[in-house]
C-alpha cells in the first residue's frame, strides 16, 4: 500500500498523520521505502515488513500496470 509521506508543511499534514496512524492500528506499517510520483513522495506500507522486498514490489507495480507504471523504490 502507498500513502503520502508525513510532511509537516503539506496542506493536508494532519490528514496524512491520521491515515498512517489508522493503518498502523490495523497492523499495516511503514516499510521505510519511498518513491516519487508526479512530484509527491509516497511511503510504502505493508503488513509483514520483515519479509517485504522492494525489488519484488517494483516488479508488482509494473506488472499490474502492464509495464506502464515503473517506480524506483528507495530506503
- pLDDT tens column, 12-70: 999 999 999 999 999 999 999 999 999 999 999 999 999 999 999 999 999 999 999 88
Q: Residue 70: its pLDDT value, please? A: 86
Half-sphere exposure of 56 (CA within 13 A, CB side): 4
Contacts of residue 22, Cβ cutoff 8 Å, sequence gap at least 6: none
Neighbours of 74 (CB within 10 A): 12
Report the length, in residues, of the chain: 75
- What is the maximum alpha-carbon separation in the chain? 35
Look up the pTM and report it.
Answer: 0.89
Half-sphere exposure of 58 (CA within 13 A, CB side): 13
Amino acid at each position: 500500500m502507498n500513502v503520502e509521506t508525513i510532511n509537516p508543511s503539506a496542506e493536508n499534514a494532519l490528514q496524512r498523520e491520521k491515515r498512517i496512524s489508522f493503518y498502523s492500528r490495523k497492523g499495516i506499517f511503514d516499510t521505510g521505502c519511498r518513491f516519487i510520483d508526479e512530484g509527491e513522495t509516497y511511503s510504502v506500507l505493508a503488513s509483514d515488513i520483515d519479509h517485504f522486498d522492494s525489488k519484488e514490489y517494483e516488479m508488482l507495480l509494473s506488472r499490474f500496470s502492464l509495464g506502464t507504471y515503473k517506480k524506483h523504490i528507495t530506503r
